[in-house]
Structure formats: structure tokens, C-alpha cells
Amino acid sequence: MSDREAILSRVRKATTHTASHPGAHPPPDLPGGFERFASRLRAVGGEAHGPVAAWALGEEATRVAGLRAQGGRILATEGASERLGPGPWVVAPPDTPPGAFEDVAVAIVEGTVGVAENAAVAVEGKHARHRALPFLCRYLILLLPTASIFPDQHRATAALPEDAYDDHHLTWISGPSKTADIEQTLVYGAHGPLSLDVIAYEER
């Protein structure tokens, strides 16, 4: 018997199919909105900017990216660049090998929804075709429509578009990369970005 058949037959014998699913968890009554999101993001080591009007997004991104990059390379994903208009960023060609992002100072990527209770922002695979970019860059900037900030993880998950999981990965990012593995001292930038800026904007 193959391992598959052996495992499934053992499991079949052990299960009764009687314990029912409890159904969806009713979302709690938590504060939402940009202010709440921003304060939670500060608590996890990130920084929220805005909210700015959609037309001012490019200007704000130029300012924040400039502060972080200090003259280093700034890359934007295709979608982010379209939203931002012209600026100090370049768009990586689709066939760029992942290793080429090693010297990127700042990456600008679109987020889909945000969560006020934990400052997480969903980054969809289709908005991060270069899967390695948000993790190899030194500083990460995410763009987030204010209207897409939800109070809790349940509502935010439910608000994701139907095809959100279709492009290989969807990552919830909450603050910069961090570790406390050496005597519980919190250090940002363990492997991924040393900082996370989220620029919130009002979609028209």
C-alpha cells in the first residue's frame, strides 16, 4: 500500500464525521479607520503617512522614498508606478532575475486592504510579480487606499477580491522585518526590510 493510501485509511478509521463546523466567527466591534491603523503600525515598528488625495500621492511618495533611499535605487512595481505618475523611481522589467534586487534601497508596492487591529496590509501576487522585491529591498513602501482599511482581520479577509490568491501568493505585511532572538532585544531588519512606510490615499 502506498503511503497515501495507508495514511488515508488510518485517518478514515479514526474519524467519525460528527463534529460540526462552528460557522464563521462574528467580527468583533473594534475601532477602524486610518488613525487606528496608524497607531497600530507605529506599535509594530512601521510608519503611516497621509491620508493624501490621489493626485498628491506621487509627491508624498517622492518625499518618503527620498528620506529612506538617501540617493539609493528606488524601484516601483508597474501598478504602483501607474498610480504614482513620474518620480524618482524606475519600474523593473518583467524578466529581471530576483538577485538583481539585492542593491535596491526602496521598493514601492501596492497594497490591497489594511487591518486596523494589527496594521497588516495585504500584498497580492499580481501586485508583486517580482516576488523577491518586497523582501530584498532595504526599505519598503506600501500604498493603501484609506477606504480599504478594515477594523479587523475577519472583515479585511472577506473584503479581498475573489482572485486575490490566484497569483501564487498573498502576503499580509505588518511592520518591518524583525527578530528578538538574541536576548529578547527587538531588532528591525532581520532578513527583510529595515523599515515599512504605508502611504494612505483617498481614491476618487
Partner 1 sequence: MTNPVELGARSELGDPERLARHDAAVFDLRTRRDAAAAEVPDWEALRERAAAIKAHSLDHLDVYLEEFETQAARAGAVVHWAGDATALQRIVGNLLEERGVQRVVKSKSMLTEECGLNPHLEARGIQVVDTDLGERIVQLRHEPPSHIIVPAIHRSRQEIGELFHRHMGTPRGETDPERLTRAARRDLRSRFLAAQATITGVNFAVAASGSIVVVTNEGNADLGMSLPRLHVACVGIEKLIPCMEDLPVFLRLLARSATGQPISAYTSVVTGPRPGAELHIVLVDNGRAGLLAQESHRSALACIRCGACLNTCPVYRRSGGHAYPGPIPGPIGSVLAPAMQAGGAALAHASSLCGSCTAVCPVRIDLHGQLLAWRRETLRPWSSASIASRLAAWVMARPGWFRFSGRIARGIWPVLRRRFPGNPAHGWLRTRDLPPHPGPSFATRWRRERENT
Q: How many residues of this chain bind partner 1 (CB under 8 A)?
A: 74
C-alpha cell at 62: 517622492
Q: Interface residues for partner 1 in 7-36 (CB under 8 A)? A: 7-8, 10-22, 24-26, 28-30
Render the burial of 134-153: b for 16+ CB within 10 Å, e for the rest.
bbbbbbbbbbbbbebbbbbb
C-alpha cell at 71: 540617493
- Residue type present at position 135: F
Please report how many Cα atoms fall inside a 13 Å half-sphere around the Cα of residue 102, on the Cβ side: 3
Does 96 bind partner 1 (CB under 8 A)? Our answer is: no
Q: Interface residues for partner 1 in 185-204 (CB under 8 A)? A: 185, 187, 189-193
Does 53 bind partner 1 (CB under 8 A)? Our answer is: no
Q: Interface residues for partner 1 in 106-125 (CB under 8 A)? A: 115, 117-120, 125
Q: Which CB, 163 or 203, lies closer to partner 1?
A: 163
Among 36, 44, 87, 126, binds partner 1 (CB under 8 A): 44
Chain centroid to Cα 44, Å, comes to 13
